[in-house]
Amino acid sequence: MAGYVSEAVIRRLPGYYRHLKELENEGVKQISSQGLGERMSLTASQIRQDINCFGGFGRQGYGYSVPELREHIGEILGLNKVHNMIIVGAGNIGRAVALSDSFPANNFCTIALFDTDKQKIGTRIGGIDVKDMETIASFLKNNPVDIAVLAVPLETAQQTAECLCDNGVHAVWNFVPVDLKLAPEVKVVNVHLEEGLEILSFKMKHQDNT
């Protein structure tokens, strides 16, 4: 159904999904591109364009059915299936991801944590077992993993990511401040936290910049 979708549109999809879920929770049944635009600070035109990448989910003279559109966008995002994740690195960030209760709610399920620290191996974090990093290859052979969360030290990140990919992982959520060089078919989303702070710093310094 959907042909090529630009990165710009992809980046906005989760925002649509989030707002539609909120609207649904508020009991709103219908919304126009205009109304959604005001809420999301986007133009009505852009919203109609974006949605129409995937099909005509609206009705002229009426607008969009909130639950219906939410359902469609959820499906487009692939949120109708459960995604198994492993977290690699049980440091501050790996821990925070493991303990988060908002990802499970969205069908992302962490099935194991890996670390090299003997102290941590064998313990549980948020109900998830911490396993020995050495055993990761065999674990991946025996368990279906969709996404690996990479939260290891900088020095080992590239090597660890390669190991994951060699063992069948094809999506990496990378929290390490490095640009991983992986096969093009491997999907990577970077969360370079420091960059957010640096951008804030820049914007404070250049107030005038529109």
Partner DNA sequence: AGTAATATGTTATACTATTATCAGTAAAAT
Partner DNA sequence: ATTTTACTGATAATAGTATAACATATTACT
State the residues that interact with its own copies by CB under 8 A: 2, 4-5, 10-11, 13-15, 17-18, 40-41, 76-79, 83, 92-93, 95-97, 99-100, 102-103, 106, 108, 146-147, 170-171, 173, 177, 179, 185, 187, 189, 191-207, 209-210
Q: What share of the chain is helix, strand, coil (3-state, %, to 5)?
A: 45, 20, 35
| Sole residue written with tokens 């962490």 | 110
The residues, any chain, with a CB within 8 Å of residue 124's CB and separated by 6 or more, are 130
Biggest CA-to-CA distance, the chain: 63
Q: Closer to DNA at the Cβ: 48 or 83?
A: 48
**Shortest Cβ distance from residue 150 to DNA (Å)?**
25
Q: What DSSP element (H or E) covers 169?
A: none
Rounded distance between C-alpha atoms, residue 26 and residue 141, angstroms: 44
Residue 42 found at the interface with DNA (CB under 7 A): yes
- Residue 46 CB neighbours (<10 A): 15
Q: Which does 51 bind (CB under 5 to 8 A by kind): DNA, its own copies, none?
A: DNA
Taking the C-alpha atoms of residue 162 and residue 182, their distance in angstroms, rounded to an integer, is: 7
175 phi and psi angles, rounded to 5 deg: -100, 0
Task: Select from DNA, its own copies, none the partner in contact with residue 40, using the beta carbon and a kind-dependent cut-off of 5 to 8 Å.
Answer: its own copies
User: Is 9 one of the binding residues for DNA (CB under 7 A)?
Assistant: yes
Is residue 59 part of the contact set for DNA (CB under 7 A)? yes
Q: Of the ranges 31-39, 101-109, 119-127, 132-140, which one interacts with DNA (CB under 7 A)?
A: 31-39
**Rounded to whole angstroms, how far apart are CA atoms 38 and 167?**
46
Nearest to DNA of 51, 136 (CB atom): 51
Is residue 40 at the binding interface for DNA, with CB under 7 A as the rule?
no
Query: According to CB under 7 A, which one of 3, 27, 56, 184 is a site residue for DNA?
Result: 56
* 15 interface partner picked from its own copies, DNA, none, CB below 5 to 8 A per type: its own copies
How many beta carbons lie within 10 A of that of residue 175, not counting itself? 24
Residues that bind DNA (CB under 7 A): 6-9, 32-34, 42-46, 48-49, 51-52, 56-64
